[in-house]
């Protein structure tokens, strides 16, 4: 009996010693610094944003279809009824939630790159505006961060101005994703939606349009400053019809966030991309960024490169209900001149050289 008790005592002592050793080892281990914690928060903020834009709509659609074949089918039926009832809301200004714009996660999102907004001229709340956002890049990070989140101080720089950002109308047909987009102030890039914001929503509205669109994303790569703009004149016509001033903006560094496999014009892969773009409204780009665990690994997260969005001088536009082609061309040329001026005055400040030129196709 004494032998058993002694053996148990020895085991307990050994166990206590091993626990104490483990605790001492844990306490001696270096704790994450504040810088490490901030880096992790920034990475998670960007991760949730990328996953939301790439997967939220598709996953929600597949989930609702799956529920149709289960005992939870009333959920899908009720949401379908809601979408039918709420069908026109995206075309009528959406359903913006100011609390979402002030969400603290967007500050970590901003600091990951970081993203900065630069103001060059005032915008009067007594007018409406169309802001041309250039370049498109892969995921329009600069446009989203500056015009949808409040993290870069748009509201403080331009008091009385309500920013909106346009995106593909098809995104507003995807369940849950449409609610996510509208809550931030996104609206479809359609004549009806833009016209509503410029004519039936009062003044002080600034509708940002990524004019180059999907076609421009196909040529996106670091060191290239090529815009698809020469034949994009619909935004100018709408500005004239509603008397909205035109404001150029350029996000320096937008094209440095990803690496893309660019297929040459005339190649069969380029033809497939262009055909898909015409049918679906967006182009399937072959790109990669950094991985989740390491900057050196490849993945779908953008690289941490600084983005500086400079908002330029407004081009004053009169209200002409039925503008002629000559009038549209005149103001289109004025807009391009203002954009070129903005680019040339700021390119050396934000990472480009004096010899870099803005190519407009």
DSSP code per residue over 223-288: T--EE--TT--HHHHHHHHHTPEEEEEEEETGGGS-EE-PPPTTSHHHHHHHHHHHHHSS----EE
Query: Which parts of 91-230 are beta strand (E)?
Result: 115-119, 129-134, 162-167, 186-188, 205-210, 226-227
d(CA 291, CA 302) in angstroms, rounded, equals 9
Whether residue 1 is predicted with pLDDT greater than 70 in this model: the reply is: no
Q: Are 188 and 169 in contact (CB under 8 A)?
A: yes
DSSP letter for each residue of 54-78: IIIHHHHHHHHHHHHTSTTHHHHHH
Q: Quote the CA–CA distance of 210 and 58 in Å, as a whole number.
A: 23
Give kind and range of the element (H or E) at residue 360: strand 359-360
**pLDDT score at 313:** 95
- Taking residues 109-121, what's their average pLDDT? 97
Interval 165-184 mean pLDDT: 93
Close Cβ partners of 64 (under 8 Å, ≥ 6 residues apart): 75, 76, 79, 80, 175
Residue from 146, 168, 143, 171 nearest 156 by CA: 146
Distance between CA 138 and CA 56 in Å, rounded? 18
pTM: 0.87
- Give 205's strand partners: 162
| pLDDT value at residue 196 | 95
Band of the pLDDT at 26, cuts 50, 70, 90?
very low
Average pLDDT over residues 62-87: 95
Q: So what's the pLDDT on residue 2?
A: 45
Identify the residue with better confidence: 101 or 235. Answer: 235
Selected residue with higher pLDDT from 281 and 190: 190
What are the phi and psi torsion angles at 88 (to 5°)? -90, -5
- Does position 296 have pLDDT exceeding 70, yes or no? yes
- DSSP labels for 75-106? HHHHHHHHHHHTTTGGGGT----HHHHT-THH
Query: Which residue ranges make up each domain of the chain?
Result: 36-360
Q: What mean pLDDT, rounded, does the chain reach?
A: 87
Cβ of 191: how many Cβ atoms within 10 Å? 13
Closest CA to 183 of 200, 211, 170, 164: 164
Residue 144 has pLDDT above 50, yes or no: yes
Query: What local confidence, expressed as pLDDT, does residue 254 receive?
Result: 93
- 34-43 residue pLDDT tens: 787 898 999 9
Mean pLDDT, to the nearest integer, of 40-63? Answer: 94
Are the C-beta atoms of 302 and 139 separated by less than 8 Å? yes
- Percent pLDDT > 70 in the chain is 85
Quick one: pLDDT at residue 4? 42
Q: What is the pLDDT at residue 319? A: 95
């Amino acid at each position: 009996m004494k032998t058993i008790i002694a053996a148990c005592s020895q085991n307990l002592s050994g166990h206590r010693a091993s626990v104490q050793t483990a605790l001492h080892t844990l306490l001696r281990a270096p704790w994450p610094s504040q810088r490490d914690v901030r880096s992790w928060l920034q990475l998670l903020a960007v991760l949730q944003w990328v996953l939301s834009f790439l997967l939220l709509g598709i996953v929600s659609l597949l989930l609702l279809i799956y529920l149709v074949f289960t005992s939870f089918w009333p959920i899908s039926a009720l949401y379908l009824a809601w979408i039918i009832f709420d069908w026109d809301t995206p075309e009528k200004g959406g359903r913006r939630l100011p609390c979402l714009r002030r969400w603290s996660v967007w500050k970590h999102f901003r600091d990951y790159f970081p993203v900065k907004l630069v103001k060059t001229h005032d915008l009067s709340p007594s007018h409406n505006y169309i802001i041309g956002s250039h370049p498109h890049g892969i995921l329009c990070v600069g446009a989203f961060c500056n015009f949808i989140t409040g993290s870069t101080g748009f509201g403080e720089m331009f008091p009385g101005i309500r920013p909106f950002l346009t995106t593909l109308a098809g995104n507003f047909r995807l369940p849950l994703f449409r609610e996510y987009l509208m809550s931030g102030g996104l609206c479809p890039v359609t004549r009806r939606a833009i016209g509503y914001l410029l004519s039936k929503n009062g003044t002080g509205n600034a509708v940002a349009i990524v004019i180059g669109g999907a076609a421009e994303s196909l040529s996106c790569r670091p060191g290239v400053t090529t815009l698809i703009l020469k034949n994009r004149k619909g935004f100018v016509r709408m500005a004239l019809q509603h008397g909205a001033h035109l404001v150029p903006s350029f996000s320096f560094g937008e094209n440095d966030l990803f690496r893309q496999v660019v297929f040459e014009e005339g190649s069969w892969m380029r033809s497939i991309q262009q055909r898909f773009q015409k049918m679906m409204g967006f182009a399937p780009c072959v790109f990669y960024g950094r991985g989740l665990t390491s900057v050196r690994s490849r993945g779908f997260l953008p690289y941490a490169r600084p983005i500086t969005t400079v908002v330029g001088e407004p081009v004053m536009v009169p209200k002409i209900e039925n503008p002629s082609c000559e009038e549209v061309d005149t103001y289109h040329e004025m807009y391009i001149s203002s954009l070129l001026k903005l680019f040339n005055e700021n390119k050396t400040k934000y990472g480009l050289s004096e010899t870099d030129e803005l190519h407009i196709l």
